[in-house]
């Protein structure tokens, strides 16, 4: 009980506004380099990509819940594949939930970067930790459960043990990693439609095209617009945080 009380107090203490993050050029270049080393090389992407897939599938799940669909569960594969099973009326709700997969990691990354700028990094960390805990109810396979438990456990440890002065940097770093991961996944799905069409039936854009009259390229353009906007917005936020 004492451990739970310490954890809950740490979560609640996160919901306060702190000083906005600011930095000089050298520290942020070092952080960006580290984030790229953790997300771009294949050996590190093998692990962090599972978390990006988890966020991708959570995007589908929460978008489905927003439109009244019933989420029956989601699965994650070691090959970074994912599947969300939901039911509800066809039409807008199916399209809405189907769209919010690929853009979500980049969008979540941008929100985390923004929280560092506006002084809400600790609140973002607390909210993220709670969302990851709640998401455990959706998982329906062992790989997904392991990824979710590991992600939730790391989030809780960060909430409890991260020094207050380092929280904004931790949140900023996670935001950058999700942004980079979102861009990487976007290029992956574009590559499927251009060069690896034998895998096209697993593409969200293809699946969306089968649910309505709009073609797959329309949905791909939608992914590009949202992810591209996230990159622009994040770059602008980083520029605002840079001290000259």
Spatial neighbors of 149 by CB under 8 A, at least 6 apart, are 136
On whether the CB atoms of residues 61 and 144 are closer than 8 A, the answer is no
DSSP 244: -
Q: Is residue 234 part of a domain?
A: yes
* 78 contact partners, CB below 8 Å, separation of at least 6: 50, 143
Residue 80 lies in a domain: no
Is residue 83 one of the residues assigned to a domain?
A: no
> What is residue 1's predicted lDDT score, i.e. its pLDDT?
63
Range of the domain at 210: 100-241
Strand partners, 23: 242
Instruction: Decide if 73 is inside a domain.
Output: no
Residue located via tokens 């950058």 = 176
Task: Enter the pTM of the model.
Answer: 0.93
> What is the tens place of the pLDDT at every residue in 39-80?
999 999 999 999 999 999 999 999 999 999 999 988 999 888
Distance CA 56, CA 93 (A): 17
In a domain, 153, yes or no: yes
Q: CB–CB of 157/125 below 8 Å? A: no
pLDDT tens digits along 2-27:
777 777 787 777 788 888 899 999 99
Closest of 206, 208, 178 to residue 190, by C-alpha:
206
- Looking at residue 99, what is its pLDDT? 96
Residues 6+ apart with CB under 8 A from 101: 56, 57, 59, 60, 82, 204
Q: Comparing C-alpha atoms, which of 101, 108, 83 is closest to residue 177?
A: 108
Contact 171, 115 (CB under 8 A): yes
The pLDDT tens digits of the residues spanning 110-168 come to 999 999 999 999 889 888 888 888 888 888 888 888 888 888 888 878 888 888 778 89
For the chain, how many structural domains are there in total?
A: 1
pLDDT surpassing 90 at residue 98 = yes
Nearest one of 226, 136, 180 to 41, comparing CA atoms: 180
Q: What is the pLDDT of residue 8?
A: 77
| 190-222 pLDDT, tens digit each | 999 998 878 788 899 999 999 888 999 999 999
- The secondary structure element, H or E, covering residue 80 is none
Is 40 a member of any domain?
Answer: no
Task: Please check whether residue 171 lies inside any domain of the structure.
Answer: yes
Asked if the structure places residue 190 within a domain, the reply is yes
């Amino acid at each position: 009980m004492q451990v739970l009380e310490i954890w809950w107090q740490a979560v609640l203490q996160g919901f306060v506004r702190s000083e906005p993050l600011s930095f000089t050029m050298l520290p942020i270049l070092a952080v960006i380099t580290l984030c790229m080393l953790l997300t771009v090389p294949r050996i590190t992407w093998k692990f962090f990509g599972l978390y990006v897939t988890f966020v991708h599938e959570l995007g589908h799940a929460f978008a489905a819940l927003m439109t009244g669909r019933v989420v029956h569960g989601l699965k994650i594969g070691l090959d970074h594949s994912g599947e969300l099973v939901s039911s509800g009326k066809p039409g807008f709700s199916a399209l809405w939930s189907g769209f919010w997969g690929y853009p979500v990691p980049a969008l979540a990354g941008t929100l985390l970067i923004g929280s560092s700028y506006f002084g809400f990094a600790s609140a973002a960390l607390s909210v993220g930790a709670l969302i990851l805990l709640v998401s455990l109810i959706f998982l329906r396979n062992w790989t997904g459960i392991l990824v979710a438990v590991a992600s939730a456990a790391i989030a809780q440890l960060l909430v409890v043990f991260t020094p207050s002065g380092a929280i904004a940097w931790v949140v900023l770093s996670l935001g950058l990693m999700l942004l980079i991961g979102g861009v990487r996944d976007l290029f992956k799905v574009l590559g499927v439609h251009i060069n690896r069409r034998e895998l096209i039936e697993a593409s969200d854009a293809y699946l969306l095209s089968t649910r309505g009259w709009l073609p797959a390229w329309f949905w791909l353009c939608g992914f590009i617009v949202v992810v591209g906007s996230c990159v622009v917005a994040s770059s602008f936020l980083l520029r605002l945080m840079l001290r000259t």
